[in-house]
Amino acid sequence: MAGSKTKKSLLIVDDEVDLLILLRKVLSKKCDCEVHIAHSALEALKIFPTLHPDVILTDIIMSDMDGLELLSKISEMDSNVSVVLMSAYGTIEMAVKALKNGAYDFLEKPFDNTKVSQIILRAFERTQLLRENIQLLKELEKSDQPTEFIGQSRPLQQSIELLTRLALSDATVLIRGESGTGKEVAAKTIHAMSERSMKKMITINCPALPEQILESELFGYVKGAFTGADQDKDGLFLEAAGSTILLDEIADIPVSLQTKLLRVLQEKEIQPLGQTKTVKVDVRVLASTNQDLEAKMARGEFREDLFYRLNVMTVTMPSLDEMREDIPLLALHFLRRYAKEYGREGMELSQKALKCLMRREWKGNVRELQNRINRAVLLASSNIITPADCLSSEELEEDNSSISGTEISECIHQLPYKEAKEEVITSFTSRYLENALTKTGGNVSTASKASGMERQAFQRLMRRYQIQSQDFREN
């Protein structure tokens, strides 16, 4: 929101008074930021803790302390501040040294006003990205709990609270929810917090096995029960004795097996194939499904008595749409996991990529988000993940046109007229430019021509709205 953001802060350090005045005038306007000045490195260090600027633009050659030493001291205080060095006596060696020491960029005097403003704008973007990532990491650490769930949204926390309470009992639990919402993680949470946690939880994917094999896997068999049964075999219910068994996707279990499963729930006993007597078992049963069991019962595909035995307690896992505020935390969690796995530590999610992920519809829920981040980390051409790394060209185009006039008006109706107008113009122009560049794969000349604009005018708008053509080029 244009009216709620804190204005960006730039500190310029140089012992040339005329240059300070000129830069303050140019950059405050072109970069829309607050500009503060310091006439020496020592003065900059003195005001830095109070001012806490987002970006520092400093000369290298100064009388009291050079810019490289200032860079070093600033980095010790806050490594997320982007420092741009400048010098009238610049050499390639000096530029390389500055960048190696952690400078964001190096400028050789005299420089073009447009060029310096572009660099400062990108430096602001870098600082914002680093600080937002640190904030996300803090929130990620705060959300650390004895479960595999990541997030702080109320729907997720309510589910975790219910799972925690259910863990204290031995009741059968039916875990429901859309595909990709973490139903197996919910089962693991119940087991991990229960008195049965010392033993391994057994999980079986019901639709993955044919009916006869599923029956023998669940209940076991005795030698000679069928062709090939040359010795006795304990089933998974016996293997899970004293522990927990998860019947994943229970809706797909054949009707013929539902009767035997009902016996387990009612009598706590099983009957192995080929055996006439039953065997007592001490197993807690958890079941999960993403299907409409009530509809299956109406069609005669699922036994009502089994449903009511399974449905002693129900947990419905929230969809990603219901916990949309957790998307940044989840995205960062998966980013850290896969960056480590692929040896790409130091990767970051751009703010634009995060906004795209927040706006997108996630039919596959958390699992789909996880797969997208996995792919982006693996294939991204740089350490900054952009929208193009997360979404296909069709999805990017859809995202660019996703905000309707109604949604915009809801966002701006409380702003003063001038700010509201600027917000609408900014939103429209940014999306128009991004859409044009998406269609042309980042080719500015083709995009400007298709837009009916001169290339220079198109580029001026790109600079104003901080849009980089390389973000739209194929990896």
Residue-wise pLDDT tens digits, 246-283: 999 999 998 889 988 998 999 999 888 888 888 899 99
Paired tokens of 156: 């997720």
Confidence check: pLDDT of 29 > 60: yes
Q: What is the pLDDT of residue 179?
A: 94
- The predicted structure's pLDDT at residue 403: 45
Q: At the topology level of CATH, where does 154-316 sit?
A: Rossmann fold (3.40.50)
pLDDT of residue 375: 93
How high is the pLDDT of residue 43?
94
pLDDT at 182: 93
Task: Please check the confidence at residue 404 and state whether its pLDDT lies above 60.
Answer: no
Least confident of 122-136, 197-211, 364-378: 122-136
**154-316 has the same fold as 8-142:** yes
pLDDT of residue 4: 40
* 322 closest CA partner among 154, 136, 148: 154
What are the domain boundaries of the chain?
8-142, 154-316, 321-391, 405-475
Of 132-136, 161-165, 167-171, 375-379, least confident by mean pLDDT is 132-136
Per-residue model confidence (pLDDT) at position 139? 64
Report residue 166's pLDDT band, with 50, 70 and 90 as the boundaries: very high
Strand 105-108 with 82-87, pairing: parallel
> What phi-psi label fits residue 93: left (phi over 0), alpha (psi between -120 and 50 degrees) or beta?
alpha
Rounded CA separation 131/248 (Å): 41
Rounded to the nearest integer, the mean pLDDT of the chain is 85
Of residues 36 and 427, more confidently modeled: 36
Question: Per-residue b/e over 119-145, b at no fewer than 16 CB within 10 Å?
Answer: bbbbbbbbbebbebbeebeebbeebee
Q: Which residues pair with 56 in a beta bridge?
A: 11, 83
Higher pLDDT, 36 or 394: 36
Superfamily of structural domain 8-142:
Response regulator (3.40.50.2300)
Would you identify the CATH topology of the domain 321-391? Helicase, Ruva Protein; domain 3 (1.10.8)
Q: How confident is the model at residue 5 (pLDDT cuts 50, 70, 90)?
A: very low
pLDDT in tens, 296-329: 999 999 999 999 999 889 999 999 999 988 898 8
